[in-house]
Structure 1
Amino acid sequence: MGSFSIWHWLIVLVVVIAIFGTKKLRNVGSDLGAAVKGFKDGVKDGGTADDPQVPPQQVTANKVNDPNTVDVDAKTKS
């Protein structure tokens, strides 16, 4: 009772094919294969320690008294 025989699996396969059809199952299989391939490529490309990705540094402008610039220091109300 704990394991299924080959006849159980064949009946399940026939029922799944009858419900979904072979075309939809073929599409699901190809989509799953493409997803696995994409995952493997992503793991392979992202796992290199020789070329660490450094984020670009923030570009700061020269301090110019521009009337449109807001000072970031908080002012207290008196």
Structure 2
Amino acid sequence: MGGASIWHWIVVGLIVLLLFGRGKISEMMGDVAKGIKAFKKGMAEDDTPEAAPASASDKGKVIEHKATPAAEVDAKSSERKVG
């Protein structure tokens, strides 16, 4: 009485078939297959890059900044102090 023999598994299989029926098990397996396919399709869609914007107005404004050297900034600030 220790391990499960082949007869135990046959009895368990028959009970499962009686409870769920042959059609119900095949329907469940079909639903599982559809779920796996939908999951793979969703993962494939995540890997594809998004389309580039159609026009330049979608990108937004670009603000250009010109940095002034430190010497010019010091000269301007000293002129303000004197004058």
Q: What is the TM-score normalised by the length of structure 2?
A: 0.48
How far residue 47 of structure 1 moved from its aligned partner, in angstroms, is 2.8
Answer 1 or 2: higher relative contact order, Cα 8 Å, separation at least 6: 1
Deviation at 1:45, TM superposition (A): 1.8
Aligned equivalent of 2:46: 46
Which amino acid is the alignment partner of residue 28 of structure 2? V
For residues 46-72 of structure 1, the C-alpha deviation after alignment (integer angstroms, 9 at most, x for no partner) is 134xx1579xx8xxxxxxxxxxxxxxx
Q: Which residue of 2 is the match for residue 37 of structure 1?
A: 37
| Correspondence 1:10 to 2:10 | yes
May I ask how many residue pairs the two structures share in their alignment? 52
Q: Does 1:24 align with 2:24?
A: yes
Taking a change above 3 Å as real, the CA distance of residues 20 and 46 of structure 1, as seen in their structure-2 partners, is same
Structure 2's unaligned 5+ residue stretches are 53-57, 59-83
Which is helix-richer, 1 or 2? 2
Q: Deviations over 1:3-56 (max 9, x none)?
A: 6443332221111100111111111111111111111111122134xx1579xx
Q: Flag the 1:52–1:24 CA change in 2: closer, same or farther, 3 A.
A: same
Q: 2 CA distance for matches of 1:12 and 1:53? A: 54
CA RMSD of aligned residues (A): 2.5
**Distance in 1 of aligned mates of 2:29 and 2:40:** 17
Rg: which structure is higher?
A: 2
Give the distance between the partners of 2:41 and 2:15, measured in 1 at CA: 35
- Secondary structure at the aligned position of 1:31 is classed as helix
